[in-house]
Amino acid sequence: MAKEVIMPKLGMTMEEGEILKWHKEEGQEVKKGEVLLEVMSDKTALEVESNFEGLLLKRIYNEGDVVPVLETIAIIGKEGEDISGLLVKKDKPEDTPAQKIEETENQKQVAEAVEQVEAEEIGKPKASPAAKRLARENDIDLSLIDGTGPGGRIIEDDVLKFISQQRGYRTTPAAQKLAQSEGVDLDKIAGDGFQRIYKDDVLQHISGQDTTKVMTERLSGVRKTGAERLSMSWRMVPHVTLTAEVDMKNTLELRSRLNERLKETNKKISVTDILLKAIASALQKHPAMNAYLEDNTIHYNKDINVGLAVAVEDKLVVPVIKDVDKKNFTEIVEEKSLLIKKAKQNSLSREDITKGSFTLTNLGMFGIDIFTPIINMPESGILGVGQVKKKPVVIDDEIRIRPMMWLSLSFDHRLVNGAPAAEFLADIVKVLEEPELLLL
């Protein structure tokens, strides 16, 4: 019996995925556990393995298509097997009365939950959940937007483009008509500088005489996904950022002593490793900072899994170090080093980037002191770390030179109020200034 391959739900916030690459052609044999395709989730690119064996009878979507989670994307079965019934089912219009999605064997393995899906009312345009939410937040009528997704479905990128057009350049009717007849993308034309595109601007673009000299680059892949997630977090989460300065003298001395003992092992403890332990210690005392909000319900994570923001070329990924509170410094160094290596090799797995409950981002190596990090949804907080810099400070009414460092804590004000967040940050500062507390 033919099996349906669905777009997997690779994270709590993932609503749709982009098919980056098919590893199998139609008619090719597929083995269970073999990589079938690559998908761009809401965090990064991941390889999706097949849960079935057989022939790839049909690829329903192409590379570059954006597909809602739990939607059938391919069919695997035996040679000559009749799959017309499955294909007909996929061609049915979505704007029918409410109906339930049948849970297949594949769905049970990858979906955390399959909820009853309510179809759109007859006459309303088809749109992805992310597109509907964005349109609702910006009071936009979806009927005004042309969809570019599969079957004309409106995707979030279409809504973002519509918003940009509404706030950006206007086009004269003559310019619009010429652009349509010549197949010109108006997004690539800057206009006259007065937020209006004329026919002459389109003609200059066609003839290659566009004098604006503006280089353009379309966001795609990890950068596009990252931009969408950060925009969504900034729109939906009420960010508040607190800052505190830390005297790092004792932490740096502890690091030196530990590295002296580890000299023979080729392992080296960094300030980031000690920060991870300090964060874990504070999270144990402040469970609200280790929680997330979903459907007006606060969910408290039992595990302390800290994501570490890693810059790789022109993109940002956040691998997650699991159970930081239960690991010693050596174990943290090993896991962190492995994850950073995999990030640079673009080989992070789904397990490597999921289940995070808090995030750490460090810009100190770039000479930054204070900044406002954006929360990695659905987490409730993120800690930004600045450079360690020697400066004069007053200690016991005397001026002394100390290695000082700024911390910037952004938190979700829906989950955590100012005072508890300040106490959480103060506990991190205390541990860094008295690192022997990590031994208790």
pLDDT of residue 144: 82
Show the tokens assigned to 395: 């200690």
Q: What is the mean pLDDT of the chain?
A: 83
- The residue among 31, 51, 77 that closes a domain is 77
pLDDT band at 11 (very low <50, low <70, confident <90, very high): confident
Q: What percent of the chain has pLDDT over 90?
A: 48
**Is position 373 within any domain?**
yes
Q: Is 199 or 374 the better-scoring residue by pLDDT?
A: 374
Q: Is residue 288 domain-shared with residue 175, that is, in the same domain?
A: no
Q: Is 149 or 378 the better-scoring residue by pLDDT?
A: 378
Considering only 70-84, 162-176, 385-399, which range has the smallest mean pLDDT? 162-176
What is the SS3 assignment for 386-439? EEEEEEEEEECCEEEEEEEEEEEEEEECCCCCHHHHHHHHHHHHHHHHCHHHHH
**Is position 114 within any domain?**
no
pLDDT of residue 417: 96
pLDDT of residue 43: 61
**Is position 291 within any domain?**
yes
Provide the pairing of β-strand 29-30 with 16-22: unpaired
Q: Is residue 167 domain-shared with residue 278, that is, in the same domain?
A: no
**Is position 299 within any domain?**
yes
pLDDT of residue 195: 56
Q: Is 165 or 342 the better-scoring residue by pLDDT?
A: 342
pLDDT of residue 17: 86
Is the pLDDT reported for residue 33 higher than 90?
Answer: no
Q: Is residue 70 domain-shared with residue 163, that is, in the same domain?
A: no
Left if phi > 0, otherwise alpha if psi is -120 to 50, otherwise beta: which for 397? Answer: left
**Is position 34 within any domain?**
yes
Is the pLDDT reported for residue 97 higher than 50?
Answer: no
pLDDT of residue 218: 76
Q: What does the CA dihedral 141, 144, 150, 155 come to, rounded to 10 degrees? A: -50
* Mean pLDDT along residues 255-262: 93
For residue range 128-166, what is the model confidence (pLDDT) as tens digits?
877 787 787 767 888 888 888 777 888 877 876 776 566
Q: Is residue 163 domain-shared with residue 229, that is, in the same domain?
A: no
Q: Is 406 or 165 the better-scoring residue by pLDDT?
A: 406
What distance in Å separates the CA atoms of residue 161 and residue 308, rounded to the nearest whole number?
31
Q: Is residue 350 domain-shared with residue 431, that is, in the same domain?
A: yes
What distance in Å separates the CA atoms of residue 137 and residue 148, rounded to the nearest whole number?
21
Q: Between vectors from CA 120 to CA 236 and to CA 44, what angle results, nearest 5°?
A: 45
pLDDT of residue 386: 97
Is the pLDDT reported for residue 30 higher than 80?
Answer: yes
Q: What does the CA dihedral 120, 121, 127, 128 come to, rounded to 10 degrees? A: -20
For residue range 260-306, what is the model confidence (pLDDT) as tens digits?
999 888 889 999 999 999 999 999 999 999 999 988 899 999 999 99
Considering only 14-23, 56-65, 145-154, 209-218, which range has the smallest mean pLDDT? 209-218
Q: Of the listed 23, 286, 299, 413, which one is catalytic?
A: 413
What distance in Å separates the CA atoms of residue 274 and residue 255, rounded to the nearest whole number?
8
Which CATH number fits the domain that encloses residue 312?
3.30.559.10
pLDDT of residue 79: 87
Q: Is residue 262 domain-shared with residue 352, that is, in the same domain?
A: yes
What is the total count of domains within the chain?
Answer: 3
**Is position 39 within any domain?**
yes
Is the pLDDT reported for residue 213 higher than 70?
Answer: no
* Mean pLDDT along residues 31-37: 89
Q: Is residue 156 domain-shared with residue 58, that is, in the same domain?
A: no
Is 413 a catalytic site residue?
yes
- The residue among 52, 77, 102 that closes a domain is 77
Beta carbons within 8 Å of 291's beta carbon, 6+ residues apart = 298, 299, 300, 301, 357, 380, 415
Q: Is residue 208 domain-shared with residue 232, that is, in the same domain?
A: no
Which CATH number fits the domain that encloses residue 38?
2.40.50.100
Phi then psi for residue 382, to 5 deg, are: -145, 140
Q: Is residue 206 domain-shared with residue 244, that is, in the same domain?
A: no
Q: What percent of the chain has pLDDT over 70?
A: 84
Domain span holding position 40? 3-77
For residue range 177-199, what is the model confidence (pLDDT) as tens digits?
787 778 777 777 765 444 567 78
Decide: residue 204, CB within 10 A, 0-12 exposed, 13-18 middle, 19+ buried. middle
What distance in Å separates the CA atoms of residue 77 and residue 75, rounded to the nearest whole number?
7
**Is position 175 within any domain?**
yes
Helices 173-182 and 199-207, axial angle in degrees (round to 10) = 30
pLDDT of residue 164: 54
pTM score, two decimals? 0.61
- The residue among 29, 52, 77 that closes a domain is 77
Q: What does the CA dihedral 382, 387, 390, 396 come to, rounded to 10 degrees? A: 0
**Is position 263 within any domain?**
yes
Q: Is 152 or 328 the better-scoring residue by pLDDT?
A: 328
pLDDT band at 372 (very low <50, low <70, confident <90, very high): very high
For residue range 351-371, what is the model confidence (pLDDT) as tens digits?
999 999 999 999 999 999 999
pLDDT of residue 205: 79
Q: Is the Cβ–Cβ distance between 291 and 299 less than 8 Å?
A: yes
pLDDT of residue 120: 39
Q: Is residue 198 domain-shared with residue 236, that is, in the same domain?
A: no
Q: Is residue 365 domain-shared with residue 287, that is, in the same domain?
A: yes
Q: Is residue 199 domain-shared with residue 228, that is, in the same domain?
A: no
